[in-house]
């Protein structure tokens, strides 16, 4: 599975996307529509956009390079909070915003504003249906938890101005208070019988201790030193400033960052034994409803989990049948498919090829410059095989794809991974939508199921582009693509079954054994990952299947006149949104 930094930071920045404040602000940005209804609606979404960014500096920094151009000045530097009282207050604030939303007549809005209206309407109704079940959130986790993601986001924190460095230092200084708010939240969960299992707690504790043990060799320090060195070489800061900044960073690491992780580790150790559930969300009071909420809010799929599960079983059967047919036609296909070594092509060569070969099926796009970088050695153990670092919406640069050299992948895996991250995946989709005339609030309302589903959808298509470039038989690539689909489908089924049906470790292991996965440690790790990251696999595979379903419906409507390039353009123009919204506006085009 390809975890992306963009996805990671979306989870960290806000446990609930719509923890919003009140107060009216009119930005300088305007979108189409001059009538009073549009003007008032734009004031309303301007307010939401500004206040959401002002509440979290990491969110602000990764969304806007120059916030002052949007009227955001004098903001308070903050990591946010997990304070239970603040989360409780957010429910009332969401209710207020929803009432204000319902005062607008969507029929009087421009289409761009109608899309935003529909997205907000779904988001608010989902959040309000959840009520006060905010304690079912889990901010910590070995893979996607705040304590795992925050150092990566801080390590990648770009210094464009001296103010950025000051903000960075302020964020480091706030980590003890921020982590204490997380610990307070976990204590509240424990009181309600909702604390994590000892297995999960131990995994997080070990991660905290490993982070502390790195000391001066910590990748946060090495990445900071690298950035300061570059600023000094570019004469943007003096050598004396560089030395002062380095000393300040070292001081904050010792006095704030490491103590924050130590406090968190010790606090979790004290809470161990209070977790009553080592399985899926369904075993917790209100857990099934919360899981359904996660599917709606993170995937953008509004079907019931039972309906989704049935569609996944049908997809699994279909793909498995196709694999059996391929193996019957060529019994040596399996050995051929896994006999390839690492790629003889560089990532740059593959991306250049992809950028040109996709133009028959996807709209032409001038993405400007992009760069392939390698994950610093100090970060290799904490990074995915590859990831695309999402640029700020107001610059759409830099566009950087990171490759983790510690991950050993075959030529085909590298090719499809770069399609997922680059062309026509994340980089392409991000720049395409960024060039459209839309309100920047769309960046905050970005739907994980659309974003990851799109990248998984085009990754599947990329197997068809690989044959002439990699000199691999199409049948082999078809087999590999089906195998990838089966794997992702299986994990999605396990996700729904563990959290929605109550499957335990033994049932999970028995299911994996049917597909040849019998190693007990592997089965334990798969089960534990899904327990700790509910609905995460669904963003990828369920998102992908939603795009496939839309394609099939449009093909049925258009018949022989169906054009993939036009279909893809229409999806890209609509942009990230829950799938009911995507479908509504897509079929307005194909009426």
Q: What is the DSSP string of 541-559?
A: HHHHHHHHHHHHHHHHHHG
Give me the mean pLDDT over the 524-536 stretch. 97
Selection from 457, 490, 549, 518 nearest residue 319 by Cα: 490
Selection from 542, 483, 481 nearest residue 517 by Cα: 483
- Using one digit for the tens of pLDDT, what is the confidence trace for 53-97? 999 999 999 999 999 999 998 899 999 888 878 877 888 899 999
Q: Which helix (H) or strand (E) holds 30?
A: none
Tokens of residue 461, six digits:
């298509």
- The confidence band for 131, taking pLDDT boundaries of 50, 70 and 90, is confident
pLDDT surpassing 50 at residue 52: yes
Q: Which helix (H) or strand (E) holds 374?
A: strand 371-374
Selection from 298, 254, 10, 249 nearest residue 127 by Cα: 298
Helices (H), 133-215: 146-155, 162-191, 198-213
pLDDT surpassing 80 at residue 518: yes
- Using one digit for the tens of pLDDT, what is the confidence trace for 225-279? 999 999 999 999 999 999 999 999 999 999 999 999 999 999 999 999 999 999 9
- What was the pLDDT predicted at 24? 31
Q: Which percentage of the chain shows pLDDT scores above 70?
A: 94
pLDDT surpassing 80 at residue 336: yes
What DSSP string describes 41-55?
A: HHHHHHHHHHHHHHT
- The confidence band for 21, taking pLDDT boundaries of 50, 70 and 90, is very low
- Using one digit for the tens of pLDDT, what is the confidence trace for 418-428? 999 999 999 99
Considering Cα of 179, then 182, then 184, then 190, what sign does the dihedral take? Answer: negative
Selection from 471, 502, 481 nearest residue 544 by Cα: 481
- The confidence band for 35, taking pLDDT boundaries of 50, 70 and 90, is low
- Classify residue 414 by burial, with Cβ atoms within 10 Å: 0-12, 13-18, 19+: buried
Q: How far apart are CA 341 and CA 359, in angstroms?
A: 29
Q: How far apart are CA 21 and CA 11, in angstroms?
A: 19
- What was the pLDDT predicted at 3? 37
- Using one digit for the tens of pLDDT, what is the confidence trace for 363-413? 999 988 899 998 877 778 777 788 999 999 999 999 999 998 888 789 999
Q: How far apart are CA 575 and CA 591, in angstroms?
A: 19
Lowest mean pLDDT among 313-317, 377-381, 434-438, 537-541: 377-381
Inter-residue contact 61 to 167 (CB < 8 Å): yes
Q: Report the mean per-residue pLDDT for the chain.
A: 91
Give me the mean pLDDT over the 548-557 stretch. 97
């Amino acid at each position: 599975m390809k975890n992306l930094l963009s996805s990671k930071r979306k989870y960290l920045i806000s446990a609930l996307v719509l923890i919003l404040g009140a107060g009216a602000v009119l930005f300088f940005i305007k979108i189409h529509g001059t009538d009073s209804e549009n003007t008032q609606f734009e004031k309303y979404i301007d307010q939401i956009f500004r206040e959401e960014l002002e509440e979290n500096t990491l969110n602000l920094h990764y969304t806007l390079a120059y916030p002052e151009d949007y009227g955001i000045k004098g903001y308070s530097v903050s990591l946010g909070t997990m304070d239970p009282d603040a989360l409780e207050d957010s429910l009332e604030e969401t209710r207020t915003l929803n009432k204000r939303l319902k005062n607008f007549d969507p029929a009087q809005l421009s289409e761009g504003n109608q899309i935003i209206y529909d997205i907000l309407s779904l988001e608010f109704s989902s959040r309000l249906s959840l009520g006060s079940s905010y304690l079912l959130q889990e901010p910590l986790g070995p893979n996607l938890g705040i304590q795992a993601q925050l150092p990566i986001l801080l390590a990648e924190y770009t210094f464009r101005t001296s103010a950025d460095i000051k903000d960075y230092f302020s964020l480091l200084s706030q980590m003890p208070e921020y982590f204490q708010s997380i610990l307070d939240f976990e204590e509240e969960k424990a009181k309600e019988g909702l604390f994590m299992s000892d297995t999960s707690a131990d995994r997080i504790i070990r991660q905290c201790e490993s982070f502390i043990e790195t000391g001066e060799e910590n990748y946060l320090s090495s990445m900071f030193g690298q950035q300061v060195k570059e600023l000094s070489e570019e004469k943007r800061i003096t050598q004396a400033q560089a030395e002062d900044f380095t000393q300040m960073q070292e001081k904050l690491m010792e006095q704030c960052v490491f103590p924050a992780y130590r406090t968190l580790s010790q606090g979790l150790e004290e809470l161990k034994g209070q977790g009553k559930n080592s399985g899926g969300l369904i075993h917790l009071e209100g857990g099934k409803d919360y899981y359904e909420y996660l599917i709606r809010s993170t995937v953008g799929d509004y079907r019931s989990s039972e309906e989704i599960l049935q569609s996944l079983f049908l997809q699994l059967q279909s793909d498995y049948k196709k694999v059996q047919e391929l193996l019957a036609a060529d019994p040596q296909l399996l050995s051929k498919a896994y006999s390839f070594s690492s790629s003889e092509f560089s990532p740059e060569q593959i991306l250049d090829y992809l950028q040109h070969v996709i133009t028959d099926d996807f709209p032409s796009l001038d993405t400007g410059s992009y760069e392939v970088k390698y994950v610093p050695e100090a970060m290799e153990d904490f990074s995915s095989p590859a990831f695309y670092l999402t640029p700020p919406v107001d610059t759409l640069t830099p566009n950087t794809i990171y490759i983790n050299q510690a991950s050993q992948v075959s030529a085909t895996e590298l090719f499809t991974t770069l399609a997922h991250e680059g062309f026509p995946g994340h980089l392409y989709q991000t720049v395409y939508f960024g060039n459209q005339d839309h309100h920047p609030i769309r960046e905050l309302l970005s739907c994980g199921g659309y974003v990851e589903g799109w990248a998984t959808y085009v990754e599947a298509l990329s197997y068809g582009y690989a044959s002439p470039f990699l000199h691999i038989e199409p049948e082999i690539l078809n087999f590999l693509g089906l195998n990838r689909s089966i794997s992702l489908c299986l994990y999605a089924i396990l996700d729904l079954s563990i959290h929605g049906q109550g499957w335990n470790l033994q049932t999970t292991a028995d299911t994996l054994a049917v597909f040849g996965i019998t190693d007990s440690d592997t089965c334990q790790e798969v089960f534990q990952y899904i327990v700790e990251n509910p609905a995460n696999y669904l963003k990828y595979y369920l998102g992908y299947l939603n795009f496939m379903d839309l394609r099939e419906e449009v093909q049925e409507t258009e018949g022989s006149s169906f054009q993939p390039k036009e279909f893809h353009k229409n999806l890209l123009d609509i942009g990230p949104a829950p799938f009911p919204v995507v479908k509504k506006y897509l079929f307005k085009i194909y009426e």
